[in-house]
Copies of this chain bind each other. A is one copy, B any other.
Protein backbone atom coordinates (compact mmCIF):
# COMPACT_ATOMS: atom_id res chain seq x y z
CA UNK A 1 0.00 0.00 0.00
CA UNK A 2 1.19 3.46 -0.84
CA UNK A 3 0.98 5.09 2.54
CA UNK A 4 1.52 8.69 1.48
CA UNK A 5 -0.86 10.90 -0.35
CA UNK A 6 -3.39 8.28 -1.36
CA UNK A 7 -6.24 9.79 0.61
CA UNK A 8 -6.51 12.70 2.96
CA UNK A 9 -8.89 15.41 4.03
CA UNK A 10 -7.60 17.38 1.06
CA UNK A 11 -8.88 14.74 -1.35
CA UNK A 12 -12.17 14.50 0.40
CA UNK A 13 -15.30 14.33 -1.68
CA UNK A 14 -18.70 14.68 -0.12
CA UNK A 15 -21.82 12.75 -0.65
CA UNK A 16 -25.38 13.65 0.15
CA UNK A 17 -27.23 11.11 2.26
CA UNK A 18 -30.94 10.79 2.98
CA UNK A 19 -32.84 10.35 6.19
CA UNK A 20 -33.18 12.45 9.29
CA UNK A 21 -29.96 13.72 10.76
CA UNK A 22 -27.98 12.73 7.71
CA UNK A 23 -25.65 15.19 6.05
CA UNK A 24 -22.71 15.49 3.70
CA UNK A 25 -19.89 13.32 4.93
CA UNK A 26 -16.18 13.40 4.31
CA UNK A 27 -15.03 10.44 2.26
CA UNK A 28 -11.91 8.47 3.02
CA UNK A 29 -10.18 5.99 0.76
CA UNK A 30 -10.23 3.14 3.27
CA UNK A 31 -13.22 4.07 5.37
CA UNK A 32 -16.88 4.10 4.48
CA UNK A 33 -18.86 6.60 6.52
CA UNK A 34 -22.64 6.41 6.75
CA UNK A 35 -24.84 8.70 8.81
CA UNK A 36 -28.47 7.93 9.44
CA UNK A 37 -30.98 8.62 12.18
CA UNK A 38 -28.45 9.72 14.78
CA UNK A 39 -25.99 6.91 14.02
CA UNK A 40 -22.61 7.37 12.34
CA UNK A 41 -21.13 4.13 11.06
CA UNK A 42 -17.38 4.11 10.44
CA UNK A 43 -16.59 1.05 8.35
CA UNK A 44 -13.02 -0.16 7.78
CA UNK A 45 -13.07 -0.61 4.01
CA UNK A 46 -9.92 -2.34 2.85
CA UNK A 47 -11.23 -5.91 2.69
CA UNK A 48 -8.58 -7.15 0.24
CA UNK A 49 -6.01 -6.35 2.95
CA UNK A 50 -8.14 -7.71 5.80
CA UNK A 51 -8.74 -4.10 6.81
CA UNK A 52 -5.14 -3.70 7.95
CA UNK A 53 -4.52 -0.18 9.22
CA UNK A 54 -2.08 2.05 7.33
CA UNK A 55 -0.68 5.30 8.72
CA UNK A 56 -3.26 7.19 6.69
CA UNK A 57 -6.08 5.04 8.07
CA UNK A 58 -5.05 5.84 11.64
CA UNK A 59 -5.40 9.53 10.78
CA UNK A 60 -8.65 8.99 8.91
CA UNK A 61 -10.30 6.99 11.69
CA UNK A 62 -9.26 9.70 14.10
CA UNK A 63 -10.79 12.35 11.86
CA UNK A 64 -13.95 10.35 11.37
CA UNK A 65 -14.34 10.10 15.15
CA UNK A 66 -13.77 13.82 15.53
CA UNK A 67 -16.35 14.54 12.81
CA UNK A 68 -18.92 12.34 14.55
CA UNK A 69 -18.13 14.00 17.87
CA UNK A 70 -18.82 17.45 16.45
CA UNK A 71 -21.90 16.54 14.43
CA UNK A 72 -24.93 17.49 16.52
CA UNK A 73 -27.13 15.10 14.57
CA UNK A 74 -25.09 12.11 15.73
CA UNK A 75 -25.75 10.36 19.04
CA UNK A 76 -24.00 7.02 18.55
CA UNK A 77 -20.97 5.98 16.47
CA UNK A 78 -20.35 2.43 15.30
CA UNK A 79 -17.05 0.89 14.21
CA UNK A 80 -17.18 -2.18 11.97
CA UNK A 81 -15.31 -3.88 9.13
CA UNK A 82 -16.14 -4.58 5.49
CA UNK A 83 -15.76 -8.20 4.43
CA UNK A 84 -14.64 -11.14 6.52
CA UNK A 85 -12.32 -9.32 8.91
CA UNK A 86 -12.99 -6.68 11.51
CA UNK A 87 -9.36 -5.65 11.12
CA UNK A 88 -6.05 -7.48 11.03
CA UNK A 89 -4.38 -4.57 12.84
CA UNK A 90 -1.36 -2.48 12.15
CA UNK A 91 -0.29 -2.85 8.51
CA UNK A 92 3.27 -4.10 8.83
CA UNK A 93 4.07 -2.27 5.60
CA UNK A 94 3.99 0.81 7.86
CA UNK A 95 7.42 -0.38 8.95
CA UNK A 96 8.80 -1.23 5.52
CA UNK A 97 9.76 2.23 4.25
CA UNK A 98 12.58 3.37 6.51
CA UNK A 99 12.90 7.17 6.28
CA UNK A 100 16.20 9.07 6.08
CA UNK A 101 16.20 9.52 9.85
CA UNK A 102 16.33 5.77 10.18
CA UNK A 103 14.36 3.37 12.33
CA UNK A 104 14.31 5.74 15.27
CA UNK A 105 12.55 8.44 13.24
CA UNK A 106 10.06 5.88 11.98
CA UNK A 107 9.39 4.62 15.52
CA UNK A 108 8.88 8.15 16.77
CA UNK A 109 6.47 8.94 13.97
CA UNK A 110 4.53 5.71 14.43
CA UNK A 111 4.40 6.23 18.18
CA UNK A 112 3.04 9.75 17.79
CA UNK A 113 0.39 8.57 15.33
CA UNK A 114 -0.62 5.75 17.66
CA UNK A 115 -0.73 7.95 20.74
CA UNK A 116 -3.06 10.45 19.12
CA UNK A 117 -5.20 7.65 17.68
CA UNK A 118 -5.73 6.17 21.13
CA UNK A 119 -6.48 9.57 22.63
CA UNK A 120 -9.26 9.99 20.06
CA UNK A 121 -10.89 6.86 21.51
CA UNK A 122 -10.37 7.95 25.12
CA UNK A 123 -11.90 11.35 24.50
CA UNK A 124 -14.71 10.42 22.11
CA UNK A 125 -17.61 12.15 23.86
CA UNK A 126 -20.53 10.11 22.56
CA UNK A 127 -21.49 6.46 22.73
CA UNK A 128 -19.09 4.34 20.69
CA UNK A 129 -20.13 0.82 19.68
CA UNK A 130 -17.76 -1.74 18.15
CA UNK A 131 -19.46 -4.29 15.90
CA UNK A 132 -16.78 -6.95 15.52
CA UNK A 133 -17.86 -8.79 12.39
CA UNK A 134 -14.86 -11.11 12.13
CA UNK A 135 -11.25 -11.70 13.25
CA UNK A 136 -9.47 -8.86 15.00
CA UNK A 137 -5.72 -8.71 15.57
CA UNK A 138 -3.70 -6.24 17.63
CA UNK A 139 -4.86 -2.65 17.97
CA UNK A 140 -8.45 -3.36 16.83
CA UNK A 141 -8.61 -5.70 19.84
CA UNK A 142 -6.89 -3.45 22.36
CA UNK A 143 -9.10 -0.48 21.49
CA UNK A 144 -12.28 -2.46 22.25
CA UNK A 145 -12.29 -1.58 25.98
CA UNK A 146 -12.09 2.09 24.97
CA UNK A 147 -15.37 1.63 23.13
CA UNK A 148 -18.51 1.70 25.23
CA UNK A 149 -20.31 -1.40 23.97
CA UNK A 150 -18.85 -4.29 21.96
CA UNK A 151 -20.95 -6.71 19.92
CA UNK A 152 -19.30 -9.66 18.19
CA UNK A 153 -20.21 -12.14 15.49
CA UNK A 154 -19.56 -15.74 16.46
CA UNK A 155 -16.98 -15.71 13.66
CA UNK A 156 -14.94 -13.05 15.44
CA UNK A 157 -11.62 -13.91 17.09
CA UNK A 158 -9.41 -11.76 19.27
CA UNK A 159 -5.65 -11.99 19.03
CA UNK A 160 -2.87 -9.82 20.47
CA UNK A 161 0.45 -11.46 19.52
CA UNK A 162 2.61 -8.66 20.95
CA UNK A 163 5.26 -10.84 22.55
CA UNK A 164 5.79 -12.99 19.46
CA UNK A 165 6.37 -9.80 17.47
CA UNK A 166 8.77 -8.47 20.10
CA UNK A 167 6.34 -5.68 20.94
CA UNK A 168 4.28 -4.59 23.95
CA UNK A 169 0.62 -3.84 24.76
CA UNK A 170 -0.94 -0.58 23.53
CA UNK A 171 -4.25 1.32 23.55
CA UNK A 172 -4.25 1.17 27.36
CA UNK A 173 -4.68 -2.60 27.26
CA UNK A 174 -1.99 -3.03 29.93
CA UNK A 175 -4.52 -1.29 32.19
CA UNK A 176 -7.93 -2.16 30.74
CA UNK A 177 -7.48 -5.89 30.06
CA UNK A 178 -6.55 -6.87 33.63
CA UNK A 179 -9.44 -4.78 34.95
CA UNK A 180 -11.95 -6.38 32.61
CA UNK A 181 -10.83 -10.00 32.53
CA UNK A 182 -8.94 -10.31 35.79
CA UNK A 183 -5.16 -10.31 35.87
CA UNK A 184 -4.48 -13.93 35.18
CA UNK A 185 -6.71 -14.18 32.13
CA UNK A 186 -5.47 -10.86 30.78
CA UNK A 187 -1.85 -11.91 31.03
CA UNK A 188 -2.44 -15.07 29.05
CA UNK A 189 -3.91 -12.88 26.32
CA UNK A 190 -1.44 -9.99 26.50
CA UNK A 191 1.80 -11.79 27.37
CA UNK A 192 1.34 -15.26 25.89
CA UNK A 193 -0.71 -14.14 22.89
CA UNK A 194 -3.59 -16.51 23.61
CA UNK A 195 -6.23 -16.09 20.91
CA UNK A 196 -9.83 -15.90 22.15
CA UNK A 197 -12.89 -16.95 20.22
CA UNK A 198 -16.10 -14.94 20.49
CA UNK A 199 -17.58 -16.98 23.32
CA UNK A 200 -14.40 -16.74 25.37
CA UNK A 201 -14.16 -13.00 24.76
CA UNK A 202 -17.75 -12.66 25.95
CA UNK A 203 -17.15 -14.80 29.02
CA UNK A 204 -14.09 -12.65 29.76
CA UNK A 205 -16.11 -9.44 29.49
CA UNK A 206 -14.24 -8.02 26.50
CA UNK A 207 -17.44 -8.37 24.48
CA UNK A 208 -20.91 -7.36 25.67
CA UNK A 209 -22.84 -9.91 23.63
CA UNK A 210 -22.12 -12.37 20.85
CA UNK A 211 -24.60 -13.10 18.04
CA UNK A 212 -24.79 -15.69 15.31
CA UNK A 213 -23.02 -14.38 12.20
CA UNK A 214 -26.22 -14.71 10.14
CA UNK A 215 -28.21 -12.35 12.33
CA UNK A 216 -25.26 -10.24 13.50
CA UNK A 217 -26.05 -7.13 11.46
CA UNK A 218 -29.72 -7.06 12.34
CA UNK A 219 -29.09 -7.69 16.07
CA UNK A 220 -26.57 -4.87 16.18
CA UNK A 221 -28.74 -2.51 14.10
CA UNK A 222 -31.68 -3.01 16.43
CA UNK A 223 -29.64 -2.19 19.54
CA UNK A 224 -27.89 0.77 17.95
CA UNK A 225 -31.17 2.22 16.71
CA UNK A 226 -32.71 1.84 20.16
CA UNK A 227 -29.69 3.59 21.65
CA UNK A 228 -29.89 6.45 19.16
CA UNK A 229 -33.55 6.95 20.13
CA UNK A 230 -32.66 7.58 23.79
CA UNK A 231 -32.52 11.14 25.12
CA UNK A 232 -29.21 12.25 23.59
CA UNK A 233 -28.03 14.54 26.38
CA UNK A 234 -28.61 11.91 29.05
CA UNK A 235 -26.71 9.37 26.94
CA UNK A 236 -23.79 11.69 26.25
CA UNK A 237 -23.47 13.00 29.80
CA UNK A 238 -23.73 9.52 31.33
CA UNK A 239 -21.03 8.24 28.99
CA UNK A 240 -18.76 11.12 29.94
CA UNK A 241 -19.45 10.54 33.64
CA UNK A 242 -18.38 6.90 33.31
CA UNK A 243 -15.27 7.82 31.33
CA UNK A 244 -14.29 10.68 33.62
CA UNK A 245 -13.41 8.39 36.55
CA UNK A 246 -10.47 6.92 34.69
CA UNK A 247 -9.68 9.39 31.90
CA UNK A 248 -6.50 10.65 33.57
CA UNK A 249 -5.28 7.12 34.19
CA UNK A 250 -6.00 6.11 30.60
CA UNK A 251 -4.06 9.07 29.19
CA UNK A 252 -1.13 8.39 31.53
CA UNK A 253 -1.07 4.69 30.68
CA UNK A 254 -1.27 5.49 26.97
CA UNK A 255 1.77 7.77 27.23
CA UNK A 256 3.75 5.13 29.12
CA UNK A 257 2.82 2.41 26.66
CA UNK A 258 3.90 4.60 23.76
CA UNK A 259 7.25 5.31 25.43
CA UNK A 260 7.85 1.59 25.76
CA UNK A 261 6.67 0.60 22.30
CA UNK A 262 8.90 3.22 20.67
CA UNK A 263 11.96 1.63 22.25
CA UNK A 264 10.62 -1.80 21.31
CA UNK A 265 10.28 -0.82 17.65
CA UNK A 266 13.96 0.15 17.52
CA UNK A 267 15.14 -3.02 19.28
CA UNK A 268 16.87 -5.84 17.43
CA UNK A 269 14.51 -8.29 19.10
CA UNK A 270 11.46 -6.62 17.60
CA UNK A 271 12.96 -6.09 14.15
CA UNK A 272 14.01 -9.72 13.96
CA UNK A 273 10.58 -10.87 15.08
CA UNK A 274 8.80 -8.73 12.47
CA UNK A 275 11.15 -9.84 9.66
CA UNK A 276 10.62 -13.46 10.66
CA UNK A 277 6.86 -12.93 10.61
CA UNK A 278 6.83 -11.11 7.26
CA UNK A 279 9.03 -13.72 5.60
CA UNK A 280 6.61 -16.40 6.79
CA UNK A 281 3.77 -14.54 5.18
CA UNK A 282 5.44 -14.55 1.75
Contacts and interface: CB of A to CB of B under 8 A. Distances in A.
A239 B232 CA distance: 39
B182 A205 contact: yes
A191 B129 CA distance: 12
A262 to B, nearest CB: 12
Contact of A148 (B145, B165, B184): B184
Interface in A136-169: 144-145, 147-150, 162-169
Summarize A's interface: helix, strand, loop or mixed.
helix
A167 B234 contact: yes
Contacts of A238: 162-163, 168-169, 174, 190-191
B185 A205 contact: yes
A127 interface: yes
A154 B90 CA distance: 39
A222 B240 CA distance: 42
A213 to B, nearest CB: 19
Interface of A: 127, 144-145, 147-150, 162-169, 174-176, 178-188, 190-193, 204-209, 223, 226-227, 230-235, 237-239, 241-242, 244-245, 249, 253, 256-257, 260, 264, 267, 269-270, 273
A191 B149 contact: yes
Contacts of A226: 192
Contact of A245 (B174, B185, B190): B174
Nearest to A230: B163
Identify the 10 closest CB pairs spanning chains A and B, nearest first.
A182-B205, A180-B182, A148-B187, A150-B184, A163-B230, A184-B208, A166-B231, A168-B238, A174-B242, A231-B269
A144 B232 CA distance: 27
